[in-house]
A and B are shown apart, each in its own frame.
Chain A
Amino acid sequence: MSYTENDLAEDLQNQEYKYGFVTNLDSETVPKGLSEDTIRLISAKKEEPEWLLDYRLKAYEIWLQMTEPTWAHVHYEKPDFQDIIYYSAVKQKKYESWDDVEPEMKETMKKLGISMDEQKVLTGTNVAVDFVMDSVSVATSFKEKLSELGIIFCSFSEAVKTHPELIKKYMGTVVPTSDNFYAALNSAVFTDGSFCYIPKGVRCPMELSTYFRINEKGTGQFERTLVVADKGSYVSYLEGCTAPMRDENQLHAAVVELIALDDAEIKYSTVQNWYPGDKNGLGGIFNFVTKRGVCEKNAKISWTQVETGSAVTWKYPSCILKGDNSVGEFYSVAVTNHFQQADTGTKMIHLGKNTKSTIISKGVSGGKSNNSYRGLVQIHKNATNARNFSQCDSLLMSDECGAHTFPYIECKNSSSKIEHEATTSKIGEDQIFYCQQRGISSEKAISLIVNGYCKEVLNQLPMEFAVEAQKLLAISLEGSVG
C-alpha cells in the first residue's frame, strides 16, 4: 500500500473538516420554497418531457398528504420546506470538454480529490466519475470509453433525454413515489444524479463513481441515482459526498435505486462525509436517504457504507431478494462524534427461495453523539431455505455517547435460518496504553484500534476508497474519547 503511517499522521494534523470551503461560481437558483410552480420551473429548466413533469406533480400530491417519519431515534428541528432552495445550478452549461471547465471548478475538484483526467488511468486510477454539484451534474469522465462496451454512464438529466425508455421502465420501480416522506419529496423535486446501465453479460472494467457536493447556501440536494445491471453483468459503484461548513442545517434527500437482473451483480460503496456540524452541534447536513435494490434470479447486491458525516443520518440501504438464489449484503461503519446522530441499518426482504443475506454493522460513537442500528430481516412464506446472518457491533468512545440497536425479524417460513449476533464494547484504556507503551501516540492508537474494529467492512471497499475511509475514520474521531 502506498499510503504509509506517516501520511496518516500528517492527515491527522489536518483534523478539522477538510472540505468545508465554498466555491465562488455564478449560480442560477430558483426562489426559495416549494409549490407546484417550483416543480414546473425545475422541470422547464431541465427541458423535461411531459411524462416526467407528471411524475413529479403526482409525487408532490402524494407528498402533501404525508407527514415526516418520527420513529427514528434522532432529534432535530424539522426542516422548513418553504425555506429551501430547490434548484441551484452553476451558470455554465454542461462542459463539452475538460478544457471548457472554469479554473474555479477545476480547483474545487482538485481540493475534493476528484480526478476527471482520463490520462490518469495509465497511472492506476481506474475510476470513472460523475460530479454533481448542488442540483446538476457538472462533468462525467470516461463516457466514450465506456460506451464502447455499451455501458451508459451519464447524469440523470442526460439519460432522461437520451434514454427515456430505460428511465421510464425502471425509475420508481424499486422505490415507489409513495414509499416514504423523503422519497416522495425527492420524486417531486429531484434535480440530477447519475444513471448507469450495464448491458447483458458485460463486466464493467472500471469503478463508476458519483461525487456529490453541496456548495450553494440555503439549498437542498435532491438527487436520484439509478443503476441497472442487465442479465449476467457486473458493476462496482462508488459514491462520495461533502459540503461546506455552515451554521445552518442543509437537507440532502436522495433516492438510489439498484436493479440487478438475473445473474447480475452490483457492488455499491458509499463514503459519506457530509459536513457533520461543529463541536457544539451547530450546522451540518440532514441526510435523509432512501436506498434500495432489487435482485432477480441468482443476482447479488452488496452495499458497503462508511458513514462519518452529517448532523443527522436516516438511511437504510436495503435489498429485495426477489429472485431465487439471490444474495444481499450490507456492510456498514457508522461513526458519530460530538452531537451527531445516526439512525442507520438495512432491510433484507427475502421473497425467493434459497435467498441469502449478510449484515455486518459496526457503530462507533464518541463525544455526546447517538448512534443507532435499525434493521429488518423479513422472510416471506415462499422463501424456502432463506438464510440470514446479522452481526451488529457497537464501540463506545466516551461516557456520554449512546449506542442503540433495533433489530426486527419477521419470519414466515420455517425452513429459514436466521442468526443475529451483537456486541457492545468500550474502547479499552488498556489497549491505548499498550499501544503507547510501544511508542504509538494515543491519537494514532485510537485510529489503529478503530480501524481494526471496522476491518471486516473496510475490506469490502475498493482500494482507493479504503485508504480514504481509513483517514476519514481517524479524523472523525478526533477528540471523541472521554
Chain B
Amino acid sequence: MSKNSKLLTGPINLNNPITVQVLGICSALAVTVKLEPAIVMSISVIAVLALANVIISLLRNTIPSRIRIIVQLVVIAALVILVDQILKAYSPDVSKQLSVFVGLIITNCILMGRLEAFALGNKPWESFLDGIGNGSGYAIILIIVATVRELLGSGTLTLPAVGEIKVIPESFYQFGYENNGLMILPPMALIVVGIIIWVQRSKTRELIEEN
C-alpha cells in the first residue's frame, strides 16, 4: 500500500516530472498564458497518461522490443485523437480554447518517459497510479505557472465554467500600475519554472546534490 501511495505522491514533489525530471517543459511554456487552458490541458494529460500507461502495461509482455517506441507512440496518438474528437463533439467550447494544444499532448515527453520507464515493466494498477501521479505533478506546476503569468501579465484569472475574473482592481491601474507584458511572452514561463525549481530545491534536502 505504501508503495502504491508513493507512486501517487512521489511525482508531485520529490520526483516531479517538470521540476525534477525536467520533462514536458515544452507545453508548460505554451499553455500557461491563461489559467483555463492550463487546467483543461492538465486534466487531458492526466487522462491520456493514465490510460496509455494501463494499455501499455497490459500489452507489455507481447510488445516486440524493437518496435516498442512505435507501439507507444501509436497508443498515445490514438488516445489523443479520441480525446480531441470527443471534446469536439460534446464540449466544442473547451475544444476551441485548447485548439492545437490537445494535439500537443502527443509530443509531451512525460508520456513517452513514463511508458518507457514504468509501464513497460509494471502491472496495470501500479501503472495507472503512476500515470495519475505524474499527471498531477505536471498539473500542479502548470497551474502555478499559469496563475503567476496570468495574474501579473493580464491582471485576471480565468477559470473553466466561471470565466474571466478581474483580480487587480481598477483603482490600481489609476494609480499607475501596469500589467507586465513580459509575463505573456514564452521566456517568462521558463523563468517562472526556474524559480519554482530553485525554491523547491532549497526547501527539499533530498534534492540537494553533494557536489
Do A and B associate with each other? no
Q: Which residues of A contact B (CB under 8 A)?
A: none
Q: Which residues of B contact A (CB under 8 A)?
A: none
